[in-house]
Amino acid sequence: MRKERLRYMAEQIARNLAIQGPDVAAAATAEHIRLYWDPRMRAALLADDRAALSPVVAAAVEELAAGNVVPDLAGDRRRPD
């Protein structure tokens, strides 16, 4: 996968979540990537040079690498009535 493209995508997610503050944005970025990215995309991002990433994305990558990201899927199980 093109690492520049993946880096851009991660940074774009982080920029749109940045209003929530760096800690929440990092956690939300990590959760978003965990929920929507194919494993090979995540792997490529995790293999990227952390120094090339913004602090928020770098923190998100740390969370993902540590396996700490457990998305809340309760809404998916709620009956739509």
Partner 1 sequence: MGYERQPDMGTPDTGAAKQVCLTIDGRAIAVPAGISVMRAAALAGGAIPRLCASDNLAAFGSCRLCLVEIEGAKGTPASCTTPVAEGMVVHTQTPRLQKLRRGVMELFISDHPLDCLTCSANNDCELQDEAAAVGLRDVRYGYAGANHLAQPVDATNPYFDFDPAKCIVCSRCVRACDEVQGTFALTIDGRGFASKVSAGQAGDDFLSSECVSCGACVQACPTATLQEKAVREIGRPERAVVTTCAYCGVGCTFRAEMRGQQLVRMVPWKDGKANRGHSCVKGRFAWGYANHKDRITTPMIRTSTAEPWREASWDEALAFAAERLKAIKARYGAGALGGITSSRCTNEETFLVQKLVRAGFGSNNVDTCARVCHSPTGYGLKTTFGTSAGTQDFDSVMQADVILIIGANPTDAHPVFASRMKRRLRQGAKLIVIDPRRIDLVRSPHVAAAHHLALQPGTNVAVLTAMAHVVVTEGLADEAFIRARCEYDAYQDWARFVSDQRHSPEALEAVTRVPAAELRAAARLYATGGNGAIYYGLGVTEHSQGSSTVMAIANLAMATGNIGRPGVGVNPLRGQNNVQGSCDMGSFPHELSGYRHISDPATRALFEQDWGVGLDPEPGLRIPNMLDAALDGSFRAIYIQGEDILQSDPDTRHVAAGLAAMELVIVHDLFLNETASYAHVFLPGSTFLEKNGTFTNAERRIQLVRKVMEPANGMEDWEVTQALANAMGLGWSYTHPAQVMDEIARLTPTFAGVSFARLEEAGSLQWPVNDAHPDGSPVMHVDGFVRGKGRFVVTDYVPTDEKAGPRFPLLLTTGRILSQYNVGAQTRRTANLVWHDEDLLEIHPADAENRGIKTGDRVRLASRKGETTLRAEVTDRVAPGVVYTTFHHPETQANVVTTEYSDWATSCPEYKVTAVQVAPSNGPSEWQEDYAGLTARARRIVPAEPAE
Q: Which of 7, 27, 31, 37 binds partner 1 (CB under 8 A)?
A: 37
- Give the closest residue to 55 by CA, choosing from 3, 6, 11, 4: 11
Rounded to a whole number, what is the distance in angstroms from the first to the last CA of the chain? 41
Determine which helix (DSSP H) or strand (DSSP E) holds 64, and give its type and residue range: helix 55-65
Q: Which of 23, 35, 52, 55 binds partner 1 (CB under 8 A)?
A: 35
Closer Cβ to partner 1, 49 or 76, answer by number: 76
| Contact positions vs partner 1 (CB under 8 A) | 1-2, 5, 9, 12-13, 15-16, 18-20, 32, 35-41, 71, 73, 75-81
